[in-house]
Amino acid sequence: MPSALEQLRARLAKIDDLENAAAILEWDQETHMPSAGVEARSRQVSTLRQFAHELHCEDETARLLQTAEPETEIDKDLLRVATRDFHHATRIPADLVGELSRVTGMAREGWKEGKANDEFSAFEPHLAAVIDCNLRKAEALGYPDEPYDALLDEFEPGMLTSQVSTVFEALRSDLVELVGQIAQKPTIDEGVLTRYYPAKAQWDLGVRVMTDLGYDFSRGRQDRSAHPFSTTFSVTDSRVTTHLNRHHFNPAFFGSLHEAGHAMYEQGVDHELDGTPLQDGTSLGIHESQSRLWENLVGRSRPFWDHYFPAVQGYFPAALSGVSSSDFYRAVNAVRPSLIRIEADEVTYNLHIMVRFELERAMLSGEVKPADLPEAWNARMDDYLDVTPTTDSEGCLQDIHWSLGTFGYFPTYALGNLISAQLWTAMERDCGNLADLVANGEFATLLGWLRQNVHRHGRRKSANQILGSTCGTGLDAGPWMDYARAKFGELYGLA
Amino acid sequence: MPSALEQLRARLAKIDDLENAAAILEWDQETHMPSAGVEARSRQVSTLRQFAHELHCEDETARLLQTAEPETEIDKDLLRVATRDFHHATRIPADLVGELSRVTGMAREGWKEGKANDEFSAFEPHLAAVIDCNLRKAEALGYPDEPYDALLDEFEPGMLTSQVSTVFEALRSDLVELVGQIAQKPTIDEGVLTRYYPAKAQWDLGVRVMTDLGYDFSRGRQDRSAHPFSTTFSVTDSRVTTHLNRHHFNPAFFGSLHEAGHAMYEQGVDHELDGTPLQDGTSLGIHESQSRLWENLVGRSRPFWDHYFPAVQGYFPAALSGVSSSDFYRAVNAVRPSLIRIEADEVTYNLHIMVRFELERAMLSGEVKPADLPEAWNARMDDYLDVTPTTDSEGCLQDIHWSLGTFGYFPTYALGNLISAQLWTAMERDCGNLADLVANGEFATLLGWLRQNVHRHGRRKSANQILGSTCGTGLDAGPWMDYARAKFGELYGLA
């Protein structure tokens, strides 16, 4: 008779298998599936997720979680994380799950219509329903201080709204000031980025650089999809996708670095954790810190382009002959306040996120009513970025997230940026001058440090624990702000 | 409260989803998965199949099958087929399922070793255990006349061993005679087939011809894999794979026709049957009749090459300049008795199958002991094909099937050939001169007839019912033998 711990592990492995199978079906849907297959595919994915959910919520899972006796430190972490997941899966009552599904089904249609016709009123009642459902969900899940804590915790376990808020508040004024200073300076010419970049050369370059950084193609692969993403089916199979735009250098190149960053995190998880709920990134913020570290702190740095530009010129002789490494470095770092988050540069991106975080929190607390969202949105865009949407489609209707019912997700994008700079500082303390390593293409030291301090732990350590053990602090915007001031100060010749 | 019938349909749809998800994972494994992913993938597939099996075998399935009241003719067929599947899933006792898995696990290793070292003794004890398990399985499943009926029925529902045996016996003497006559004639030069055929041109040609035949790429796709196969995830997603050999024209080209034949069958199943166990080929013999019809009766016919050869020359100008359509037609139809089944030509292939069918049956009845297999094998190869293996690796150890525990599968390969000619005769009766249609590239008439008479029914009609309604007979080797005599008589100038 297997012990309760063994039975629990077997049960969790099965749940994991079902979830990973669903992820494989979704990957296929985005990369290879003939379009006619979509209806059957939705049914298949839904069946797998339903089986996983049912197995997860069975009383037997609760019984095993209560009776299993941990033998190792990993067992203890496993029980803690699995118990957390069990509560998340079971605490939301079935009628609310149904209601959420119904409300978001309609909200998505309302959002599509509103965005297409620039008519916020088409989305407004659905937004109210989404907020109501999220409040009920927060009550069901429980929270320490405010409802938003419960929603944030789904994506960023253990992080408190107040922690995020304090850090964002401090960052915001510094950032608005920096953006204002940059706006006084001449713009950087980005024309070189929109020349003709043949698709095959983009693909080959991406594969070469990902390989150099340390993405292991023997445990992964790259395919094309409409929107780039990374997805993991096991420690030995973590994949990325890319989208090639022949008339813009950035999407495929920086997209590949970004997704490779996510996938290298998953590839670095300790193999002992395979088939358990510990085998996964610990939070979306930490996950995003990995993608942003490779995309921006490495991939948009001067030493990176000093190292790679001659090779990149070889891939695109027509587009890049006569261009200097320095000009190209400047182009990929141009700061340009704009209305649309997904087009935002490294500096202004965090401000787009703060707008959303503040408004989500204000809508949950009732401080901002759904009807007042457009005005509140536009006022913040004006304050923070000095741009004002002329339509709601390019304003508060631009993102799909709220129509999916997702509140608490947006801040993790900015957390990723901040954490990437915190980790960078700790890495520099431990490994010496990182710029020299990047300039020499010696990425193994960086990846090794990340593996040792972040990746291998999977979900055994929370974001706060990782920050504590590497940086000796909690979440802190200081390192990122220092980095941004230095980099963009030099680029734009600020005082 | 949904009716028992509705509940049954929902349950069967979930089983179907799980099985199809497993097929998607297996497709990915053969086409795209990084090799390091194999261990996790085996676990994932096994979990899905286990869930499907458990759901299938639950008492609730039996209860619903007994209480569901059919409202339509489709419902009646659904209940009949689902009841059959339920019995197959539940009649084999759990300890025998475990024993089969254990025995075949070891048998596969024994077979690998035996084949690699040309040592039949390494496989012999495992073969004895496989036979024993198959006998117990046959007893558990039940059979009308002899144990082999039960095993054959798994792949060819409703077909009796005696039916197959009678047809094979009659065919064998005719076929041995034909092969003997051909052996007296000068061999056909096949050298043209092993020139250099660039991979991209092979791929493009395959896609073009499959499209011409009627394979619907909007509901399917082609990928590369080590061994070509077709697989279906829904009526709207039925895929094929191919293997390109730059130094041989045949594998990719005829492989594509073959797999497209399988996939077009699945694409032609009535959409109403989607998500039910009726949505599938009705038997392996009927399935193989579809692949063989397109591969051989169409794709290796003179009118086909009269139509396509100029275009094919355009794809391979270097290899085919100066070659005539007639020479090429002759080359792809060369008959050459050989030791290895998978390299066999259209004429000798059936004899390879008969050797296996006769020996499977004789081993089950105890007439041939495992130890005597090599001798019995070699004697038959000598009698039927006038070739004698000098090693068991190129004799009775050449196929993997028995080591997988599979008895009763081989005959369906030959049934496919025979049925393809039976259907061809019926089609010619209904549609007029098929050679003219093929010569003009008018394949839609052929496909339309197959859709109407075979494909759309899915599993609603058995192989025998399809033969009855189209040909007015049961299984009959006459049409295939007439076809072979006429075609190869002309090719080899026989009297």
Q: What is the pLDDT of residues B327-345, one digit of tens each?
A: 999 999 999 999 999 999 9
Tens of pLDDT, residue by residue over B219-235, are: 999 999 999 999 999 99
pLDDT of residue B479: 98
Q: Rounded to two decimals, what is the model's pTM? A: 0.93
The Cα A18–Cα A21 span in angstroms is: 5
**Mean pLDDT (chain B, rounded):** 96
3-state secondary structure A245-284: CCCCCHHHHHHHHHHHHHHHHHHCCCHHHCCCCCCCCCCH
3-state secondary structure A97-151: HHHHHHHHHHHHHHHHHHHHHCCHHHCHHHHHHHHHHHHHHHHHHCCCCCHHHHH
The Cα B436–Cα B432 span in angstroms is: 9
Active site annotation includes A259: yes
Per-residue pLDDT at B23 exceeds 90: yes
Q: Beta B230-234 vs B237-242: how paired, if at all? A: antiparallel
User: Tokens in use for A63?
Assistant: 């019984």
CATH 3.60.21.10 assigned to domain B149-495? The reply is no
Among B44, B236, B274, select the one facing A17 at the smallest CB separation.
Answer: B44
CB contact B473 to A (< 8 Å): no
- Single out the catalytic residue among A19, A124, A259, A346: A259
User: Tokens in use for A221?
Assistant: 């692969």
The arithmetic mean of pLDDT across residues B431-459, rounded, is 97
Q: Which fold has domain A148-495?
A: Neurolysin; domain 3 (1.10.1370)
Q: Could you tell me where in chain A the CATH 1.10.1370.30 domains are found?
A: 148-495
pLDDT of residue B289: 98
For the residues of B66-96, what is the DSSP string, one character each? HH----SHHHHHHHHHHHHHHHHHHHS-HHH
Tens of pLDDT, residue by residue over B203-262, are: 999 999 999 999 999 999 999 999 999 999 999 999 999 999 999 999 999 999 999 999
Among A175, A93, A173, A183, which residue's Cα sits nearest to residue A137?
Answer: A93
Q: For chains A and B, what is the number of CB pairs under 8 angstroms?
A: 117
ipTM of the complex: 0.91
Q: What radius of gyration do chain B's Cα atoms show?
A: 23
Q: Is A187 helix (H, G, I), strand (E, B) or coil?
A: coil
The Cα A14–Cα A168 span in angstroms is: 40
pLDDT band at B94 (very low <50, low <70, confident <90, very high): confident
The Cα A374–Cα A396 span in angstroms is: 6
User: Tokens in use for A484?
Assistant: 């941004």
User: Tokens in use for B111?
Assistant: 């077979």
| Residues B328, B309 contacting (CB under 8 angstroms) | yes
pLDDT of residue A219: 97
Among A35, A44, A220, select the one facing B21 at the smallest CB separation.
Answer: A44
Residues of A in contact with B25 (CB under 8 A): 21, 24
CB contact A37 to B (< 8 Å): yes
Say yes or no for a CB contact (<8 Å) between B32 and A235: no
The arithmetic mean of pLDDT across residues B9-33, rounded, is 96
pLDDT of residue B6: 97
- Single out the catalytic residue among B26, B124, B259, B360: B259
Running along chain A, 495 residues long, what does each successive block of 10 average in pLDDT?
A: 96 96 96 93 93 95 97 97 95 90 92 96 97 97 96 96 96 97 96 97 98 98 96 96 97 97 98 95 98 98 98 98 97 96 95 98 97 97 96 96 96 98 98 97 97 98 97 96 98 93
The Cα B220–Cα A146 span in angstroms is: 50
| Residues A268, A218 contacting (CB under 8 angstroms) | no
Residues of B in contact with A40 (CB under 8 A): 20, 233-237, 274-275
